Amino acid sequence: MNCVAIIPAGGAGRRMGGATPKQYLPLAGLPLLVHTLKAFRRSPLLSQILLAVPEEDIAQVRERIVEPFGLTGRVEVLAGGFERQDSVRNALMRVRADQEIVLVHDGVRPCLSEALIEKVIAAAEADGAAVVGVPVKDTLKAVTPEGWIARTVPREGLWAAQTPQAFRREILLTAFERAAAEGFYGTDEAALVERIGIPVRMIRGADQNIKVTTQADLLYAEVVLGSGDEDRFRV
């Protein structure tokens, strides 16, 4: 099937600190975003990669991220929106009718394997909608606004959702159209699809497939990408 990836990369990186948005920070010798793009560039299943960035960043992303690292061709840089969901919607409007499966992946989730991309595409082909994730390992506590533990939440059946998330194009389009009409913003694409009554398959992701949000995450990603371990992305 003809597949396309949408990569929103417009975050300001406030939790990271510093003046440089986290998607442009150096990681294992390259800008962080380059690692993410290269993971998708390696997959023969993808015909196109739509990279959504702040409009004011488009020129420098082309000049400093896409062109110097051999990412031209399949990577198209376009303007994102105010929220992540707006950025994905802008890119989704550029997806062609012949591109049957649409993947959405966080720009700051660089520790991604080709095998995981293949797994989520296969699941979306079979079931229409699929998300990668990992079972929650920590004990979960519901806490009051004053800082007191209200109860312990059973973790059985709870998973932490990751990306990529993959959907048949018509399913994702319908979900975004409904969300826009109703003014609804979700935390991920699966939440929008769930709202229109479409079941979403959860498949096992990888613990290493982290979203870089803090300095500690950046250090961990450096270790993963620089380890040289062929099994570091085991799924």
pLDDT at 19: 74
Identify whether 87 is part of a domain.
yes
Whether 231 maps to a domain, the answer reads no
Measure Cα distances from 31 to 14, 54, 97, 111, 169 in Å: 18, 17, 32, 13, 30
Degrees, nearest 5: CA angle 38-41-44: 145
Asked if residue 235 belongs to a domain, the reply is no
How many CB atoms are closer than 10 A to CB 70? 11
The strand pair at 129-135 and 26-27 is best described as unpaired
Q: What is the pLDDT of residues 139-149, one digit of tens each?
A: 999 999 999 99
User: Does residue 233 belong to any structural domain of this protein?
Assistant: no
Whole-number pLDDT of residue 234: 42
| Prediction pTM value | 0.92
Written as tens digits, the pLDDT of the chain (235 aa) is 799 999 999 865 455 556 788 999 999 999 999 999 999 999 999 999 999 999 999 999 999 999 999 998 899 999 999 999 999 999 999 999 999 999 999 999 999 999 999 999 999 999 999 999 999 999 999 999 999 999 999 999 999 999 999 999 999 999 999 999 999 999 999 999 999 999 999 999 999 999 999 999 999 999 999 865 434 444 3
CB atoms under 10 Å from CB of 37, counted, come to: 25
Residue 195 lies in a domain: yes
Does residue 147 fall inside a structural domain?
A: yes
- What's the number of domains the chain is made of? 1
| Partners of residue 101 on adjacent β-strands | 3, 168
Q: Is residue 234 part of a domain?
A: no
Q: How far is CA 80 from CA 39, 45, 191, 203, in A?
A: 21, 24, 20, 28
pLDDT in tens, 52-105: 999 999 999 999 999 999 998 899 999 999 999 999 999 999 999 999 999 999
CATH number, domain containing residue 48: 3.90.550.10
pLDDT of residue 231: 43
Domain assignment present for residue 163? The answer is: yes
- List the domain range (segments joined by +) for residue 50: 3-226
